[in-house]
Amino acid sequence: MTLRIKHYLRQANLTQAELAAKLDITTGYMSNLAQGKRVPSPQMLQRLAEALGVRVSDIMEEPATGFEEAPVQFEDIPMSDVRAICRALGITAGQPTICVASRSAPAFAVSKGDKIVADLSGPFEAPGLVLATFVENGAGRTELCRNAPPWLIRSETSDEPTRVNGNGEVAIVAKVAGIYRLS
């Protein structure tokens, strides 16, 4: 994982040592983060972003070099036209829907208010972002998670990964087809 820390250090006119002091970490650890030798925790990513005055997604890995990117084609689709959005994303089956993130999930670079296009068609065994409903103490809560079969990684890093075991306490209800931030 290569972060864009050096770029944003220059932009903020900071040295690695100054940023390390600001974050209360060693300069060696800061150097390892900047060189991609260490992978930061989601909490450290959030702290780095805040200290540099950028979003977590801004300091995440850039696309690989040496490959020609396909030309970007933009299509003006109203957010209310769920079917057209899903066609543009290549979703052809099931009942896709658009959800709004009610809270941030920095581990997944999702901010409160982001639009999440959910494909409800299943099956949901493939790795990737999913919406999962957890039933705890008789109440259900739907969360954005990373599916890493047979585990679900929840957005709150303090939560332990949950094993999908079919006992009714957790159910994957949709795979995430896209996440959009309206500006």
Residue reference for tokens 């600001």: 22
Sign, CA dihedral 116-166-123-148, equals: positive
Query: Would you state the pLDDT for residue 27?
Result: 92
The percent of residues in the chain predicted with pLDDT above 70, rounded, is: 72
Largest CA distance in the chain: 53
The first and second tokens of residue 154, run together, are: 């929840």
Residue written as tokens 């300091």? 59
Flag whether pLDDT at 2 surpasses 70: no
Domain locations in the chain? 5-59, 82-180
What's the average model confidence in pLDDT over 97-125?
Answer: 81
Tell me: domain 82-180, CATH 2.40.50.200, correct? Answer: no
Q: Amino acid identity of 169? A: E
Whether the pLDDT of residue 71 is over 50: the answer is yes
**Calpha distance 157→153 (Å, rounded):** 8
Peptide bond just before 123 cis, omega within 30 deg: yes
Picking from 108, 107, 111, 109, the residue whose alpha carbon sits closest to that of residue 157 is 107
Choose which CATH entry (1.10.3720.10, 2.120.10.30, 3.40.50.150, 1.10.260.40) describes domain 5-59: 1.10.260.40
pLDDT at position 18, please? 93
Structure tokens at 14: 């900071």
pLDDT digits (tens, 9 = 90+) for 131-167: 887 777 767 778 888 888 878 888 775 556 777 655 5
